[in-house]
């Protein structure tokens, strides 16, 4: 469960973002209610007040029938205000994430299925802008191949000022990008919740367009229900990026392999003051100076040309949004250079279309061989699109052990399996079904009807990338096959 918080001296307003399509916590809701639709994206609004005698207290929850567990209420109250060690005065805005308790809230109504089938895929949406006419609907984009709406992918509703977030650590961007790519545990110690949350969100956005598959907590306190889980020394640190403000975490998490201490933004001449790279053994006192404490050595060399370009921008007073665009494009191109060879190799595992025949089970996707992939890098590696030198092979080997490789591979394998199923459906619809039925038994014909119906249901739910003409042809085939069966079987397959 995610939350965006705006806090004042005494009161915090929280918006709990929905974690998924089944996260509505209403005890009962009617399809016509405005909140019923909006609750697909927003769980509830919480107002937390700091009482001088009671401490943090949950003053209001809207809608008032939304169910929060006691553990969730406690977490929201503690996370809604800056930690006592934070030098935070006045209004501030920050975000946090917390683990949802109690599983799914309640299922959607049946009428939501039709609405969802016409909407973009979930983590993908278009936010209306001020230039839109109130009478007109948002312009639709279409995927020419599948004739389905092509959703716009948004990294975040709130676009971060990437250059402002990373200006103290520009010289270590390569190291930080690799740590994120490998899903390494990283503790971010910042002077305030807003700096903490923005730095964590900036770090997790480094891998776009690769999905960030690890846990991340933009702001975390000692009162969080997962405190013991994250601070235990009996097992390796979890794959999480943890943003904190309390220096107590330096002592508690000294066993973590990577710690980034960020101070208040300071300028030194024209170049923002950079934190130093230090060994974890230097973490001895609670007043540790800003720096990146890690024994990790980056596999790839630093991009000096980018640093010079950003420095030149600082000297010429280039706008921060332009600097952020340069930095974001660099990270995007770096991630794409890393992912493209994986995408090409994964595509080679897909069975050839000519091997897909209508009346046989589709061939399987070939298994991913790490050794075969590494051998392919010699002639199709990232050096074709990226000028950075270094140990690319070593980076890939470590990436294979990370949650991000597992997440990427599962998603790509799922997409390829759906594509394979769609190609099989198209092959069936292009075949002569009357010829196939001539020497088939009733059992085989009924089995075909059931399988075609299953494929059609999946395809109509946009789970299969097929054209509308193919869906119509499949429906016609089902009707043709049923019409060839005896009346009693027709009655069973097509009940009134």
How sure is the predictor about 180, in pLDDT bands with cuts at 50, 70 and 90? very high
The kind and range of the H/E element at 258 are strand 258-261
pLDDT of residue 140 exceeding 60: no
> For 342-398, how does the pLDDT look when each residue is reduced to its tens digit (9 = 90+)?
999 999 999 988 888 887 888 899 999 999 999 999 888 898 888 889 999 999 999
How sure is the predictor about 228, in pLDDT bands with cuts at 50, 70 and 90? confident
How sure is the predictor about 251, in pLDDT bands with cuts at 50, 70 and 90? confident
Summary mean pLDDT of the chain: 78
Count the neighbouring beta carbons within 10 Å of the beta carbon of residue 404. 20
* Rounded Cα gap, residues 478 and 474, in angstroms: 6
pLDDT of residue 134 exceeding 70: no
How sure is the predictor about 14, in pLDDT bands with cuts at 50, 70 and 90? low
What is the model's pLDDT at position 137? 38
What is the model's pLDDT at position 135? 39
What is the model's pLDDT at position 396? 96
> For 201-218, how does the pLDDT look when each residue is reduced to its tens digit (9 = 90+)?
999 999 988 989 999 999
For the segment 445-470, the average pLDDT, to the nearest whole number, is 79
What is the model's pLDDT at position 11? 52
- What Rg value do the Cα atoms of the chain yield, rounded? 27
User: Which two three-digit tokens encode residue 291?
Assistant: 């720096």
Taking CA atoms, 229 is separated from 72, 91, 222, 226, 232, in Å, by: 17, 32, 11, 5, 6
> For 70-128, how does the pLDDT look when each residue is reduced to its tens digit (9 = 90+)?
888 888 888 888 765 555 567 778 888 887 776 545 444 555 555 555 555 556 455 55
Comparison of pLDDT for 4 and 42, the residue scoring more: 42
User: Which two three-digit tokens encode residue 419?
Assistant: 């594509």
* Rounded Cα gap, residues 143 and 16, in angstroms: 33
pLDDT of residue 17 exceeding 70: no
Count the neighbouring beta carbons within 10 Å of the beta carbon of residue 295. 10
pTM listed for this prediction: 0.78
CATH number of 162-321: 3.40.50
Domain boundaries, the chain: 1-81, 162-321, 334-414, 432-493
How sure is the predictor about 477, in pLDDT bands with cuts at 50, 70 and 90? confident
């Amino acid at each position: 469960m995610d939350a965006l918080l705006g806090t004042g001296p005494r009161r915090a307003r929280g918006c709990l973002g929905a974690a998924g399509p089944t996260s509505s916590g209403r005890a009962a809701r009617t399809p016509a209610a405005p909140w019923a639709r909006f609750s697909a994206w927003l769980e509830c609004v919480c107002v937390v007040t700091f009482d001088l005698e009671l401490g943090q207290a949950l003053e209001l929850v809207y809608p008032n029938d939304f169910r929060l567990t006691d553990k969730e209420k406690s977490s929201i109250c503690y996370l809604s205000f800056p930690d006592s060690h934070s030098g935070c005065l006045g209004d501030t805005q920050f975000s946090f994430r917390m683990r949802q308790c109690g599983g799914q809230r309640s299922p959607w109504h049946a009428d939501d299925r039709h609405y969802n089938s016409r909407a973009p895929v979930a983590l993908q949406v278009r936010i209306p802008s001020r230039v839109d006419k109130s009478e007109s609907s948002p312009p639709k984009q279409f995927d020419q191949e599948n004739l389905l709406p092509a959703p716009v992918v948004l990294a975040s509703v709130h676009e971060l000022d990437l250059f402002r977030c990373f200006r103290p650590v520009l010289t270590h961007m390569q190291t930080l990008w690799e740590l994120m790519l490998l899903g390494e545990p990283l503790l971010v110690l910042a002077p305030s919740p807003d700096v903490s949350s923005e730095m964590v969100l900036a770090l997790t956005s480094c891998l776009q367009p690769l999905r960030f598959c690890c846990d991340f907590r933009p702001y975390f306190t000692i009162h969080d229900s997962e405190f013991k889980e994250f601070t235990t020394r009996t097992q390796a640190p979890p794959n999480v990026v943890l943003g904190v403000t309390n220096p107590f975490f330096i002592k508690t998490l000294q066993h973590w392999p990577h710690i980034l201490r960020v101070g208040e933004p300071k300028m030194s001449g024209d170049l923002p003051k950079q934190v130093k790279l230090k060994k974890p053994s230097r973490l001895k006192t609670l007043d540790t100076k800003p720096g990146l404490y890690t024994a990790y050595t980056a596999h790839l060399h630093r991009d000096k040309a980018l640093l010079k370009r950003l420095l030149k921008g600082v000297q010429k007073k280039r706008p921060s949004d332009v600097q952020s665009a340069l930095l974001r494009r660099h990270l995007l191109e770096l991630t794409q250079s890393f992912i493209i060879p994986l995408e090409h190799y994964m595509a080679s595992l897909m069975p050839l279309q000519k091997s897909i025949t209508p009346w046989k089970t589709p061939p399987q996707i070939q298994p991913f061989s790490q050794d075969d992939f590494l051998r392919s890098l010699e002639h199709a590696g990232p050096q074709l699109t990226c000028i950075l030198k270094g140990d690319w092979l070593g980076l890939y080997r470590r990436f294979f052990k990370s949650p991000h490789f597992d997440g990427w591979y599962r998603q790509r394998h799922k997409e390829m399996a759906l594509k394979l199923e769609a190609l099989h459906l198209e092959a069936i619809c292009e075949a002569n079904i009357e010829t196939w039925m001539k020497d088939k038994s009733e059992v085989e014909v009924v089995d075909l009807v059931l399988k075609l119906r299953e494929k059609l249901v999946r395809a109509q739910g946009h789970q299969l990338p097929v054209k509308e003409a193919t869906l119509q042809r499949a429906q016609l085939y089902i009707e043709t096959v049923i019409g060839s069966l005896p009346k009693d079987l027709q009655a069973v397959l097509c009940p009134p």
